[in-house]
Structure 1
Amino acid sequence: MSDKKEVETTGHEWDGIEEYNNPLPRWWVWVFYATIIWGIGYTIAYPAWPLVNRATAGLLGYSTRTEVAAEINRFEEMNAEVRAELAATEPTEIAANEAVYNYAIQSGRATFATYCSQCHGSGANGIEEGNGYPNLLDDAWLWGGDMDNIVYTVTHGIRNEDDPDARWSQMPAFGDDYLSDEEISNVVAYVMSLSGMEASQGNPSEGETLYLDNCAACHGENALGDPDQGAPNLSDAIWLYGSSEEAIETSVRRGPFGVMPNWNTRLDEAEIKAVAAYVHQLGGGE
Structure 2
Amino acid sequence: MSEQQHIDEATGVATTGHEWDGIRELNNPLPRWWVWTFYATIAWSLAYMIAYPAWPLISTATEGLLGYSSRKEVRQELQAAEAAKGEYVSAIAETDVAAVLANDQLRQFAAAAGAAAFKVNCVQCHGSGAQGSPGYPNLNDDEWLWGGAIEDIQTTIAHGIRFAGDDETRLSEMPAFDFLEPTQIKDVANYVVSLAGGTADAASVEAGATVFADNCAACHGDRGKGMTELGAPDLTDAIWLYGDSAADIAAQVRRPQNGVMPAWGERLGPVTVKELAVYVHSLGGGE
Does 1:81 find its partner at 2:84? no
Give the Å deviation of 1:223.
Answer: 0.8
Identical-residue share of aligned pairs (%): 47
CA contact (8 A) 1:185 1:201 kept: no
Among candidates 142, 166, 169, match of residue 166 of structure 1: 169
Give the Å deviation of 1:38.
Answer: 5.4
d(CA) in 2 for partners of 1:167, 1:17: 89
Among candidates 129, 138, 141, match of residue 123 of structure 1: 129
Does 1:285 find its partner at 2:254? no
Give the counterpart letter for 1:203 in structure 2: S
Give the Å deviation of 1:167.
Answer: 0.8
Give the Å deviation of 1:43.
Answer: 6.2
Match for residue 271 of structure 2? Answer: 270
Among candidates 140, 145, 159, match of residue 142 of structure 1: 145
Match for residue 4 of structure 2? Answer: none
Match for residue 107 of structure 1? Answer: 113
1:192-237: CA deviations, max 9, x gaps?
A: 1111112479822222222222222211111111111111111111
CA contact (8 A) 2:191 2:209 kept: yes
* TM-score w.r.t. length of structure 1: 0.81
Match for residue 193 of structure 1? Answer: 194
Q: Which structure has the bigger radius of gyration?
A: 2
Give the counterpart letter for 1:270 in structure 2: V
Say if 1:74 and 1:203 are closer, same or farther in 2 by CA, change over 3 A: same
Say if 1:164 and 1:11 are closer, same or farther in 2 by CA, change over 3 A: same
Match for residue 74 of structure 2? Answer: 68
Give the counterpart letter for 2:234 in structure 1: N
Give the Å deviation of 1:20.
Answer: 2.6
Give the Å deviation of 1:114.
Answer: 2.4
Say if 1:78 and 1:185 are closer, same or farther in 2 by CA, change over 3 A: same
Give the Å deviation of 1:140.
Answer: 0.6
Match for residue 239 of structure 1? Answer: 240
d(CA) in 1 for partners of 2:191, 2:55: 68
d(CA) in 2 for partners of 1:163, 1:111: 21
Match for residue 6 of structure 2? Answer: none
* TM-score w.r.t. length of structure 2: 0.81
Q: SS of 1:265's equivalent?
A: helix
d(CA) in 1 for partners of 2:200, 2:53: 69
Match for residue 157 of structure 2? Answer: 154
d(CA) in 2 for partners of 1:171, 1:50: 61
d(CA) in 2 for partners of 1:92, 1:197: 38
1:54-74: CA deviations, max 9, x gaps?
A: 663643664434333322222
1:161-185: CA deviations, max 9, x gaps?
A: 22111111111233xx423433322
CA contact (8 A) 2:186 2:246 kept: no
CA contact (8 A) 1:157 1:261 kept: yes
Q: SS of 1:235's equivalent?
A: coil
Match for residue 3 of structure 2? Answer: none
Once the two structures are superposed, the pairs formed by residues 225-264 of structure 1 within 5 Å of their partners are 225-264=226-265
Q: Which moved more, 1:263-272 or 1:54-63?
A: 54-63
CA contact (8 A) 1:151 1:276 kept: yes
Query: Aligned-residue CA RMSD in angstroms?
Result: 3.1
Q: SS of 1:167's equivalent?
A: coil
Match for residue 180 of structure 2? Answer: 179
Say if 1:34 and 1:271 are closer, same or farther in 2 by CA, change over 3 A: same
d(CA) in 2 for partners of 1:58, 1:278: 44
Unaligned runs of 5+ in 1: none
Instruction: Tell me the matched-pair count.
Output: 276
Give the counterpart letter for 1:230 in structure 2: G
Q: SS of 1:11's equivalent?
A: strand
d(CA) in 1 for partners of 2:12, 2:164: 87
CA contact (8 A) 1:187 1:202 kept: no
